[in-house]
Amino acid sequence: MAESEMAVIKPEAMKSYIWLQTVDGSIQQVEEEVALFCPMICRERHQAGMGASKNYAISLPQRVNPASLGLILDYCRFHQVPGRSNKERKSFDEKFIKMDTKGLCELTSAADALQLRPLVDLTSRALARMIEGRTPEEIREIFHLPDDLTEEEKLEPLRNITADPRIRLLNRLYAKKRKELKERQMVQVME
């Protein structure tokens, strides 16, 4: 091939790709530089030699569904580009995490499975902001969790590994509440 012919080849045509398979069996062809932003994929590619073709696609962990993978790849495409300012990254991240609780939990789990620490940190902080200052009942409502604790279980003493005086105070209050609960139960039994 002459030099003039080589100059015509566009950089996009020279990209290399990796094949990824999600738990539902779907296989996606992804730009190698984007996919290798995820440590788990990078390890599978270099240590096991997987991902070179559709027949040898990298099997992703069960927690990585196609929707989560798409979001993770969008995150990687944006963040792997050098030269972006912190302001651009912060703006992207703020828009990126605006989703419902279920989606955010799934994304956190998938990012953790792919060992993509920056995304795990970002989504975990978003989840923490959602529950900050909320009561246990409000948190259960946010995450659609059943309240399966009995009144007694809710009042069990907390483990105080750090000798925190606030936990000691809370445990004393719980002890008082447990005593009141037992007295009420005794009165009900006697009636």
97-156 pLDDT, tens digit each: 999 999 999 999 999 999 999 999 999 999 888 888 888 788 888 888 887 777 777 667
CA distance 15 to 85: 25
Pair (80, 51) in one structural domain: yes
Domain assignment present for residue 5? The answer is no
Domain assignment present for residue 179? The answer is yes
CB 122 within 8 A of CB 78: no
Q: Which residues constitute the domain of residue 175?
A: 151-190
Q: Among 111, 108, 46, 125, which Cα is nearest to 76's?
A: 111
Pair (100, 186) in one structural domain: no
Domain assignment present for residue 37? The answer is yes
Write down the pTM of the prediction.
0.69
Pair (115, 162) in one structural domain: no
Pair (103, 169) in one structural domain: no
Pair (31, 115) in one structural domain: yes
| CB contact set of 21 (below 8 Å; sequence gap of 6+) | 27, 28, 57, 58, 59, 60
For residue 96, give the CATH number of its domain: 3.30.710.10
Q: Give me the sheet containing 58-59, strands edge to edge.
A: 27-31, 17-21, 58-59
CA distance 15 to 35: 12
- The per-residue pLDDT for range 45-89, each reduced to its tens digit, is 888 888 888 888 989 999 999 999 999 999 999 998 888 899 999
Domain assignment present for residue 7? The answer is no
Pair (126, 176) in one structural domain: no
